[in-house]
Structure 1
Amino acid sequence: MKQIIVLMGAGWFALTSFAQTKDSSAAYSFSLQQAIDYAVQNQKDVKNAIIDEQIAQKKVNEIMGLGLPQINASFDLREFIEIPTSLIPAEIFGGPPGSFAAVKFGTKYNATAGLEASQLIFSGDYFLGIQASKVYVEISSKAIQRTKIETASTVAKAYYTVLINEERAKLMDVSLARVKKTLEDTKALMDNGFVEKIDHDRLSVTYNNLLVEYEKVQRLLTVGAYLLKYQMGMDINAGLILTDKLADVKFDPSTTNVSTQKFDYEKRVEYGLFQTQYKLAKLDLKRQRLSYLPTAFAYGSLSGSAQRNEFDIFDTDKKWFPTAVIGAKLTVPIFTGLQRHAKNQQAQLSLLKAENNMDFIKKSIDLELASSAVMLQNASSTFENQKKNIAIAEEVVRVSKIKYEQGVGSNLEMITAETSLKEAQTNYFNALFDALVAKVDFNKANGNLK
């Protein structure tokens, strides 16, 4: 029960922060798979991962746009409050040699309208940039898969928690009814002088403890449902009915393969992410090497200018003076202070780091596979043992109750049996929860959780 309480507490603060005050009359019925399917459509982390992929795709479009013609229009209108003055040799106008005359050139109003266009012809950065941006899209796509897997894992665990608490509440309800009946019978015997008051008091303590535990489980059941709806991306005030039953989804070790055969790393999305990052590192190294190549582009411009002393710039009867230019430019890198060499070395080291990460993720997956298999085997063994214990405890309660009713057993013996049964139930449900979580983690480690 401790693990379940910890899980409930972890989500309580977030749940209360997002709780809505309005009531929702809508009720939804979900199997575990339907809950997972709903979550991957509505959970905010999945939605954001999808948006990230769309952003990456738009980035591809942005980079591809650099290779298309770049066309810009401009218009510049100036009014000279004071026309610029220039000094020219005065001897041009008959002045003494070596002297200068101050002359104002220009008009009060000047306007220029133009159209400029350029076209990239060749750039190594451009072509590799397109490839790299597409790799980013691939990374974003794999990130969506990883987020969906994480969502499936958290939803499955929350779903199992609710089912376990529902079953625990049912069994505690049965125990409460049984102890209450015994308490009432004992009171009748006490009133008639057949048993002492202390026997009745012992049963009262047992009943009150069971009642407190039952109310606690009911509250945990409510919080667990909130947590499940939160993990699914639902309004936590919406009605939720779980259609799977614990008998259908309880842990069965015979259905899970824990063999240590060679694992296909491609089944793990994390491995795919590291592969993509390695591909990106190779492209970056290639880009640095291509930086030694020239860059070429063509350009052209067409503009017209008008000079007026009166503000009649837009008078179509007056002339504008055109200017037209076309050209091409080739930039050849010769020496950049060893910057390119340093960047090339950085890219080589980044590629080496990516190779190390590939080896690291394989070892991490191997460790996760081995540890999840051990955890699953341990959980299986504990669960089977606790299942036997609860059957024994139930039988002890049955026998002790019969002995007490027939007058050959003590009140204390029956109370001890009830206490042992409650402990066995707690251990059973903890073991069941651990087994179900271990199964989810094992399937996730094997790449079978979708």
Structure 2
Amino acid sequence: MKKVILFIGFLITLSSFAQTKDSSTSYSFSITQAIDFAMKNQKDVKNAIIDESLALEKVHETRAIGLPQINSSFDVKDFIEIPTTLLPAEFVGGPPGSFIPVKFGTQYNGTASLEGSQLLFNAEYFLGLKASKVYRELSARATERTKIETAATVTKAYYTVLISQERMKLMDANIARVKKVMEDTKVLLNNGLVEKLDLDRLTVTYNNLLVEQEKIQRLLDLGTHLLKFQMGMNINTALTLTDKLEGVKLDIVNVASTDKFDYAKRVEYNLFETQYRMAKLDLKRQQRSYLPTALAYGSLSGNAYRNTFSIFSMGYGWYPTALIGGTIRMPIFTGLQRNAKNQQAKLSLLKAENNMDFIKKSIDLELASSVTTLQNASLSLDNQKKNIAIAEDVVRVTKLKYEQGVGSNMEMITAETALKEAQTNYFNALFDAIVAKTDFDKATGNFK
């Protein structure tokens, strides 16, 4: 019992050490480094790579069907009751038409054999081999799509954290500015130059800003955890983002530049195109299933016959048998099964053609939608930049007037409220623009 308790204690200590070690790890990542980390650690990407390896092994499995097949076997029989054979009685002088029971053979029989076969021709096999290679390509396309989706998700999560950090900086500046005005107002109140109501209004504004600061901090923590999750990183790992929002490029898109779009740039199109090629190969395979199958074979075996259990003794003889041969199988009638499979393959090909047409139309719609969304987001972001500049200037002028005694307390509070609203609108517009740019890059096949 003591050993069990000590072992459990050891496991707990080891687990705690591993968790502490992981928690002490820290990273500083740009957006490119964050995506690279996700490509190596994110669960969906890792599983997609495993699926790609499975597809490769499927190719090897299919190819192996056409390689020589060699098997060996060893069989031992103990005839507790030796089989009886009936012989005509006239062999030993008996009356014609009668039989006598005779037992032939030994109680113990052993057989050791080595058999081999080689496929010479099978149309379905060769087409199946081509299909397995296309299947591997399909798996590679699926991996590429998973990587693109993961990169897009990490990008959005990364910039969400950057935006929250920038909001926190501006909120800290707002709080510091209002706190300074509030402290100055206390001095004026003590000197009888303002009413207590003025100080109370500023206090309410200050407290509201503190509440907003806590909300932003919670969103920042949540966004950071989400980013780590999307990257496949332990949430206890320290992560610092090195990119800045100033480096984000949100160019206005020229709609005309997307008129002649190359569908092959989209991994989704390539996926459906690969599925279409697989459907064509499957139809060919079914259409050629009526062709013959040819194979060669050979075997070498030895038989041992004993009345005592001495099968493995080398002192007794083994009687060899060797042969080679060939087989040609030609399907003639399969109960209309072959026809049904052929029709299924034709319908699958028709379905693949429909999917090809559908994905083209979907890409066209997604492309047009992403262009419009990005243009609107860019326009909104430009307007919000102007609004925040105006709001900051209003706060500056209002604060100056208030300090000089020609402005009111209400003007100051109104200006601060307008600035906070402008900042919120700006960051919302910035996030929408980043998401729109990411979606546009995906739609045009430029997101890698």
Q: Under a length normalisation based on structure 2, what TM-score does the superposition of the two structures give?
A: 0.91
In structure 1, distance between residues paired with 2:78 and 2:310: 12
In structure 1, distance between residues paired with 2:329 and 2:251: 68
Q: Does structure 1 conserve the Cα–Cα contact (< 8 Å) formed by 2:283 and 2:349?
A: yes
For residue 77 of structure 2, what is the aligned residue in structure 1? 78
Instruction: Determine if the alignment matches structure 1 residue 213 to structure 2 residue 217.
Output: no
In structure 1, distance between residues paired with 2:127 and 2:149: 33
1:241-390 matches, cutoff 5 A: 241-249=240-248, 251-254=249-252, 256-259=253-256, 260-390=258-388
1:104-253 matches, cutoff 5 A: 104-249=103-248, 251-253=249-251
Q: CA RMSD in A?
A: 2.0
In structure 2, distance between residues paired with 1:320 and 1:223: 78
Shift of 1:228: 1.8
In structure 2, distance between residues paired with 1:348 and 1:175: 68
For residue 427 of structure 1, what is the aligned residue in structure 2? 425
Deviates more, 1:434-443 or 1:185-194: 185-194
Instruction: Determine if the alignment matches structure 1 residue 442 to structure 2 residue 402.
Output: no
Instruction: Determine if the alignment matches structure 1 residue 57 to structure 2 residue 56.
Output: yes
Listed as ranges, the gaps of 5+ residues in structure 1 are 1-18
Shift of 1:93: 5.0
Shift of 1:176: 0.5
In structure 1, distance between residues paired with 2:344 and 2:315: 63
In structure 2, distance between residues paired with 1:80 and 1:368: 76
Structure 2 counterpart of 1:170, one-letter code: K
Shift of 1:91: 5.8
Shift of 1:96: 6.2
Shift of 1:344: 1.2
Shift of 1:66: 0.8
Listed as ranges, the gaps of 5+ residues in structure 2 are 1-17
Q: Does structure 1 conserve the Cα–Cα contact (< 8 Å) formed by 2:250 and 2:434?
A: no
Question: Partner of 2:23: helix, strand, or coil?
Answer: coil
In structure 2, distance between residues paired with 1:180 and 1:81: 104
Shift of 1:204: 1.6
Structure 2 counterpart of 1:69, one-letter code: P
Shift of 1:286: 0.6
Give the number of equivalent residue pairs: 430
Give a deviation string over 1:45-80, Cα, whole Å, max 9, x none: 222222222211111111111111101000001222
Question: Partner of 1:193: helix, strand, or coil?
Answer: coil
For residue 9 of structure 1, what is the aligned residue in structure 2? none
Instruction: Determine if the alignment matches structure 1 residue 403 to structure 2 residue 401.
Output: yes
In structure 1, distance between residues paired with 2:307 and 2:192: 125
**Identity of matched residues, %:** 72
Structure 1 counterpart of 2:235, one-letter code: I
Structure 2 CA distance for partners of 1:94 and 1:193, relative to 1, 3 Å: farther
Question: Partner of 1:326: helix, strand, or coil?
Answer: strand
Structure 2 counterpart of 1:82, one-letter code: E
Shift of 1:131: 0.2
Deviates more, 1:393-402 or 1:291-300: 393-402
Q: Does structure 1 conserve the Cα–Cα contact (< 8 Å) formed by 2:113 and 2:299?
A: yes
For residue 12 of structure 2, what is the aligned residue in structure 1? none
Shift of 1:319: 1.0
Deviates more, 1:357-366 or 1:145-154: 145-154
Shift of 1:164: 0.6
Shift of 1:92: 5.0
Question: Partner of 1:443: helix, strand, or coil?
Answer: helix
Structure 2 CA distance for partners of 1:118 and 1:23, relative to 1, 3 Å: closer
In structure 2, distance between residues paired with 1:219 and 1:22: 26
Structure 2 counterpart of 1:186, one-letter code: T
Q: Under a length normalisation based on structure 1, what TM-score does the superposition of the two structures give?
A: 0.90
In structure 2, distance between residues paired with 1:122 and 1:252: 59
Give a deviation string over 1:263-311, Cα, whole Å, max 9, x none: 1111111111111111111101110111010011111111111111111
For residue 4 of structure 1, what is the aligned residue in structure 2? none
1:28-47 matches, cutoff 5 A: 28-47=27-46
Structure 2 counterpart of 1:304, one-letter code: G
Shift of 1:87: 4.7
In structure 2, distance between residues paired with 1:47 and 1:258: 37
Structure 2 counterpart of 1:151, one-letter code: T
Give a deviation string over 1:168-222, Cα, whole Å, max 9, x none: 1100000000111112222233334333333222222211111111122122222
In structure 1, distance between residues paired with 2:100 and 2:205: 116
In structure 2, distance between residues paired with 1:320 and 1:37: 66
Structure 2 counterpart of 1:287, one-letter code: R
In structure 2, distance between residues paired with 1:403 and 1:65: 87
For residue 8 of structure 1, what is the aligned residue in structure 2? none
Shift of 1:35: 2.0
Shift of 1:404: 2.2
Structure 1 counterpart of 2:219, one-letter code: L
Deviates more, 1:99-108 or 1:286-295: 99-108
Question: Partner of 2:24: helix, strand, or coil?
Answer: coil
Deviates more, 1:32-41 or 1:364-373: 32-41
For residue 415 of structure 2, what is the aligned residue in structure 1? 417
Shift of 1:90: 5.3
In structure 2, distance between residues paired with 1:168 and 1:81: 90
Structure 1 counterpart of 2:332, one-letter code: I
Question: Partner of 1:230: helix, strand, or coil?
Answer: helix
Question: Partner of 1:236: helix, strand, or coil?
Answer: coil
